[in-house]
Amino acid sequence: MNKLNIPGCTYSLPQVASIGLTEEKAKAEGRDIKVGRFPYIGNGKAIALGDSEGLIKTIFDAKTGELLGAHMIGAEVTELIQGFGIAKTLETTEADLMHTIFPHPTLSEMMHESVLNAFGRTLHL
């Protein structure tokens, strides 16, 4: 069992969820990383729900594209984190995630946008 593939969830207001390495831990390990961020305020569904405060953050190995970690704060992130859990378990790369079609309009689109942002390809900011 890889403990880095176990999501952590905090059922608070706002909710907090994470999986894998933090940005600081990845740097401490000497990894060259790419970090993506996407704010809730940039997502139409979050705005329509009246819950537009929050952030999705993704950390990738810059050389291999490996998803090293994801950190989320905002509405329903304890439900959304499973997507990054699956991605880590399947050893998904940034290319796989960038080419995945996320449904619209959904909160999960922010996950996609965070991945795109890490590689300078954000669509909705």
Active site residues: 104
What does 54-96 look like in DSSP terms, one character per residue?
-EEEEEEETTT-BEEEEEEESTTHHHHHHHHHHHHHTT-BHHH
| 10 bridge partner residues | 16
Which tokens belong to 100? 């995945």
Phi-psi region of 65 (alpha: psi -120 to 50; beta: other; left: phi over 0): left
Q: Are 110 and 41 in contact (CB under 8 A)?
A: no
The pair phi, psi for residue 100, each rounded to 5°, is -80, 135
